[in-house]
Homo-oligomer: A and B are copies of this chain.
Amino acid sequence: VGASRFLRGLVSLIDARDLTIIVNTGDDECFFGLHVSPDVDTILYTLSGLISPTRGWGIADDSFACLQALGRFYDTTWFQLGDRDLATHIVRTDILHRGGTLSSATRTIASALGVKPIVLPMSNDRVRTFVDVEGRGPLPFQEYLVRRRGTGRVRAIQYRGIGNANPAPGVLRALRRADFIILPPSNPLVSIGPILSLKGIRNALRSRAARVVAVSPIVAGAPVKGPLHRMLRGLGHEVSPVGVARFYRGLVDVFVLDERDAAMAPRVAELGMRPLVTDTLMTDVTRSRRLAAVVLAELGQ
């Protein structure tokens, strides 16, 4: 959601066709035999204007008649899949069953929805993020986040399958050829972490010519959305922009932190990143655009 809010501002400032978006697929889940890619869909729905502005995920004004009927056959109806949203999962699953990849499914869906940037799933191989919660054991990410509402003490996070997963076609090339790279204000552990852990990604980032900017998802000691604070705390990290910046050491040139956290700028600088202090809250499109403009200006764009 943080990434999509940032993107809605960014695409209003640059030619969307110049933009390549690499999206986490570690949160993908199979419900009712349908392949759901929550992060990809949030990006696609945001960029196509279909997104529910109130929820920040799913399609605006969607209905839930099919999900309700699926409740007759399954007890896994805790993941809210709307009727219009289901069409996306149905076509993705259809393409995968016909031998297509997540890349080709994403391309087809993006094109049908009129999305202009290139949206790449991070990998066509199966990576599954598990959150190991005290007293519950490792939970698939959606079960942790949605079913359990992100509660419980986090002991570990696993990216299962990451060792055998390759970046999807176009991912490494996009990083190598980019004029600039932005790590949006997303969860560094479960949204950006899986991407950074894929074969070749860290190398591509270390050897890139482009400047890299990251935006802190933690503002004033708490995530704007989601259970990132519990994850950081559970794993022994500091719940602050500095705690996030540490994950990006050696990869990022500029680290954007909120003005409420201005006092931490020197500690970010100590990590070898230039701190950029600004208002990072994106409560509406105007503010998203303003933040994107600040980041672009820093990048000389």
Contact = CB atoms under 8 A, between A and B. Distances in A.
A73 B97 contact: no
Interface string A97-122: 11000000000110011000000000
A254 interface: no
A284 interface: no
Interface of A: 32-34, 59, 62-63, 65-70, 72-74, 82-88, 90-91, 93-94, 97-98, 108-109, 112-113
B91 A74 contact: yes
Chain A interface mostly helix, strand, loop or mixed?
A: helix
A43 B62 CA distance: 30
A121 to B, nearest CB: 17
Residue among A67, A69, A83 with most chain B CB within 10 A: A69
Contacts of A59: 69
A73 B93 contact: no
20 contacts: A32-B90, A32-B94, A33-B90, A33-B91, A33-B94, A33-B97, A34-B90, A34-B94, A63-B63, A65-B82, A65-B84, A66-B86, A68-B84, A69-B83, A70-B91, A73-B87, A73-B91, A73-B108, A83-B83, A86-B86
